[in-house]
């Protein structure tokens, strides 16, 4: 039986709502995408205790959590936030001069025709 106050990393990640499923949490741990106090995990059965710092590498972000409590269930988000302290770095501020998505520019007459142009072409072929 594990020591009091310790919990499997996959369960804790699931209870803290860092990931959507326990099987996904286990895969993250096995792939080495979770670090406990700076050391890579290799098993989902590695345990965490209050005071441990977890670094979780997800697709587009890195989460840094300090474990405050072991979880008992996957409850609502407000309850899950009590399990950790978020130490994640703030995302880099976006430059207001750059738009989020650049609109592609196409010179008139190049590339595929638009619907309007296609209808005009069809009209010409009917004559």
Q: Give the pLDDT band (50/70/90) at residue 90.
A: confident
- Name beta bridge partners: 36: 39, 54
Eight-state DSSP code of residue 126? H
Tokens at 71, concatenated: 């979880």
The set of residues, in sequence order, having a beta carbon less than 8 Å from that of 85 and lying 6+ positions away, is: 65, 66, 68
Q: Rounded to an integer, what distance in angstroms lies between the CA atom of residue 59 and that of residue 56?
A: 10
Report the pLDDT value the prediction gives residue 98, as an integer from 0 to 100: 63
Report the pLDDT value the prediction gives residue 1, as an integer from 0 to 100: 42
Q: Rounded to an integer, what distance in angstroms lies between the CA atom of residue 42 and that of residue 61?
A: 20
Eight-state DSSP code of residue 105? -
Q: What is the pLDDT of residues 111-120, one digit of tens each?
A: 888 899 899 9
Mean pLDDT value across residues 78-103: 81
Q: What is the pLDDT of residues 2-59, one digit of tens each?
A: 567 899 999 999 999 999 999 999 999 999 999 999 999 999 999 999 999 999 999 8
| DSSP string for residues in 59-82 | SS-EEEEEE-S--SS---HHHHGG
- Domain ranges in the chain are 7-86
Report the pLDDT value the prediction gives residue 2, as an integer from 0 to 100: 53
DSSP reduced 3-state for 83: helix
As assigned by CATH, the class of the 7-86 domain is alpha beta
Q: Rounded to an integer, what distance in angstroms lies between the CA atom of residue 33 and that of residue 56?
A: 6
DSSP reduced 3-state for 56: strand
Mean pLDDT value across residues 88-96: 77
């Amino acid at each position: 039986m594990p020591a009091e106050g310790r919990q499997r990393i996959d369960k804790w990640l699931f209870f803290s709502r860092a990931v959507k499923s326990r099987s996904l949490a286990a895969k993250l741990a096995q792939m080495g995408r979770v670090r406990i106090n700076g050391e890579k995990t290799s098993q989902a059965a590695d345990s965490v205790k209050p005071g441990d710092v977890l670094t979780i590498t997800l697709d587009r972000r890195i989460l840094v959590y300090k474990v405050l409590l072991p979880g008992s269930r996957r409850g609502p988000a407000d309850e899950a936030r009590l399990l950790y302290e978020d130490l994640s770095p703030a995302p880099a501020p976006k430059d207001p001069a750059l738009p989020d998505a650049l609109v592609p520019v196409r010179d008139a007459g190049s590339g595929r025709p638009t619907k309007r142009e296609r209808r005009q072409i069809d009209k010409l072929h009917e004559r």
